[in-house]
Structure 1
Amino acid sequence: MDDKHMQIGEVAARTELSLRTIRHYEETGLVVPSARSQGGFRLYTESDVARLMVIRRMKPLGFTLEQMRELLAATDRLDVDDVPTGEREELLERLRGFEEAAQQRVADLRTQLARAEDFAGTLRRRLTRKSGAPRP
């Protein structure tokens, strides 16, 4: 087997995605294995791994599969050298929209995390007071 190709198990380990999740992303068209082995096993490249990492990073930010597909289509198109200037500007504007949405979602998650940490601290203080244990 070509050492530039990886089987799905190695890709799963590298991306920290389950085999099932990778297969789901394949079924939905978000990622397509670059090749198949003679035995029919899916074979992936570094480019496929990078694509899965984009998907993996978008998922916790609440992006939908359709939004992931749209972003990946835009970045795929931008990777082509001969994109007309007008189209390139439109694609870049789309990417800017995704970047802004990602920044907003990160800010929202920071707020949620701060609230969760505050709540956990409140519980910890209450437990410490009620148990008579010394406070840390």
Structure 2
Amino acid sequence: MSSEHMQIGEVAARTDLSLRTIRHYEETGLVIPSARSQGGFRLYTEADVARLMVVRRMKPLGFTLDEMRALLDATDRLDSGEDLPPEQRQELLERISGFEQAAHQRVVDLRTQLARAEEFAATLADRLARSPAS
């Protein structure tokens, strides 16, 4: 096995994803291991790890598997080195831009939710501080 390939356990440790989650992403076609060992073990490359990190970052923002696939497809096509017609290249860049805008909006929404949650927790702490213990 060459040093550029990693087994699933190392990938799980590097990405902070469970083995089950990584296998699920393989089953759904999001991240396919680049190779298999002679014993049939999944082998991953740095590029595979980078794809898993994209998925890991999209998940908490509520993106669906189909949306993740669409973004990965767009970035794969742009990064392929293939000579794309200008209109196709522009369409892919616009798709990625749409994801960037959606991600930004979801971050704003999460910050609002976090502020409300912190406010609520502070209200409860204040309420407890004002109540004598029985």
How many pairs are equivalent?
A: 132
C-alpha deviations, 1:56-103, integer Å up to 9, x for none? 000000000000000000000010221221110000000110000000
| Structure-1-length-normalised TM-score | 0.95
Aligned: 1:36 with 2:36? yes
1:95-134 alignment, distance < 5 Å: 95-131=96-132
**For 2:63 and 2:112, how far apart are their aligned partners in 1?**
18
Give 1:45's aligned residue.
45
State the one-letter code of the partner of 2:118. E
Structure 2: tracts of 5 or more residues without a match: none
State the one-letter code of the partner of 2:2. D
Q: Which moved more, 1:14-23 or 1:81-90?
A: 81-90
Structure 1: tracts of 5 or more residues without a match: none
| Identical-residue share of aligned pairs (%) | 77
The alignment partner of 2:2 has SS state of: coil
The alignment partner of 2:125 has SS state of: helix
1:14-25 alignment, distance < 5 Å: 14-25=14-25
- How far did residue 131 of structure 1 move? 3.4
TM superposition outliers: structure 1 runs of 4+ over 3 Å: none
State the one-letter code of the partner of 1:51. R
| Structure-2-length-normalised TM-score | 0.96
- How far did residue 5 of structure 1 move? 0.4
Q: What is the Cα-based RMSD across aligned positions, in Å?
A: 0.8
Give 2:3's aligned residue.
3
C-alpha deviations, 1:31-62, integer Å up to 9, x for none? 00000001100000000000000000000000
